[in-house]
């Protein structure tokens, strides 16, 4: 595969390759998302609006320690979350509107918003040491994308287990739950992803888009409705509680939170 175009942003790398676009999160070791990085991802996705000949988007990350450990906790404070959360959710709304086949190549930790980004993709290929988790509960929050996505994907009982305990899943546990397509040794990750892209990109770009729309229309429609509900609840009900503020402050101050139940 030969490179056709690339844009190096401050926090990501966008490449148009043979048959697919690649967005690499490029803030190792943890590839933590902040509002600047989120805006860059949205800019990269904007490039694909008229590039209908590119039917596949691959999300990957620099370094082996983490795919992404989530959105910067500092962006969850009451003065910033009102901007950050809808902006982050715009990534998922944008991916649905683009209608491209999405693939996540996951090495290391995929936590919080990073887990949501990976598991939202149509295909997830993970190395055998990868971990997937939603630890937001430990800082007095909940993950709106996971709340909207996981019940349909794994059932309400398993979704609650993942979200309410905050305990991570191994790559194999995620595969058994139906959240990951393939688990491979780290040295085979890039090769496996390339083989998948080759198989998909050999198909008609327009047929791939239309087929994905036919298969995912119900899920995407219901996901958008559930995400709107979860986002409103987060911003107008959760974010105004004392415990939400306490959880964020305790994390930033590196201490155990003192929950008040209100």
203: pLDDT strictly greater than 90: yes
The number of domains in the chain is: 1
Q: Is residue 243 part of a domain?
A: no
Q: Is residue 176 part of a domain?
A: yes
Catalytic residue flag (residue 136) = yes
20: pLDDT strictly greater than 60: yes
Q: Is residue 224 part of a domain?
A: no
Catalytic residue flag (residue 116) = yes
Q: Is residue 215 part of a domain?
A: no
Pairing of strands 12-17, 5-8: antiparallel
pLDDT (tens digit per residue) in 113-164: 999 999 999 999 999 999 999 999 999 999 999 999 999 999 999 999 999 9
User: What's 19's domain CATH number?
Assistant: 3.90.226.10
Predicted confidence at residue 4, as pLDDT, reads 55
Q: Is residue 154 part of a domain?
A: yes
Q: Domain of residue 200: give its range.
A: 5-205
Active-site position among 40, 116, 191, 242: 116
Nearest alpha-carbon partner for 117 in 47, 41, 52, 63: 41
Task: Report which secondary-structure segment, H or E, holds 38.
Answer: helix 35-46
In the chain, what percentage of residues exceed pLDDT 70? Answer: 98
Q: Are 120 and 174 in contact (CB under 8 A)?
A: no
DSSP SS3 for 58 = strand
91: exposed, middle or buried (Cβ count in 10 Å: 0-12, 13-18, 19+): buried
User: CB within 8 A of 28, min separation 6: which ones?
Assistant: 61, 62, 63, 65, 66
Active-site position among 136, 187, 225, 242: 136
Pairing of strands 66-68, 123-127: unpaired
């Amino acid at each position: 595969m030969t490179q056709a175009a690339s844009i190096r942003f401050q926090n990501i790398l966008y490449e148009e390759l043979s048959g697919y676009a690649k967005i690499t999160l490029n803030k190792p070791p943890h590839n933590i998302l902040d509002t600047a990085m989120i805006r860059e991802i949205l800019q990269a996705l904007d490039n694909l609006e008229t590039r209908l000949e590119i039917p596949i988007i691959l999300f990957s990350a620099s370094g082996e320690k983490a795919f992404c450990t989530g959105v910067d906790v500092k962006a969850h404070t009451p003065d910033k979350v009102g901007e950050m959360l809808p902006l982050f959710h715009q990534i998922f709304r944008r991916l649905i509107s683009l209608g491209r086949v999405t693939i996540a190549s996951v090495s290391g930790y995929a936590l919080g918003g990073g887990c949501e980004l990976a598991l939202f993709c149509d295909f997830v290929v993970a190395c055998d040491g990868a971990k997937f988790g939603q630890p937001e509960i430990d800082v007095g929050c909940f993950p709106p994308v996971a709340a909207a996505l996981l019940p349909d994907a794994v059932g309400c009982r398993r979704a609650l287990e993942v979200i309410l305990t905050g305990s991570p899943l191994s790559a194999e546990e995620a595969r058994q739950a139906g959240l990951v397509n393939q688990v491979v040794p780290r040295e085979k990750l890039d090769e496996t992803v390339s083989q998948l892209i080759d198989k998909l990109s050999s198909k008609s770009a327009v047929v791939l888009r239309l087929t994905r729309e036919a298969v995912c229309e119900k899920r995407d429609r219901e996901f958008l409705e559930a995400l709107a509900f979860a986002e409103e609840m987060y911003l107008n009900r959760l974010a105004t509680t004392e415990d939400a503020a306490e959880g964020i402050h305790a994390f930033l101050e590196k201490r155990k939170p003192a929950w008040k139940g209100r």
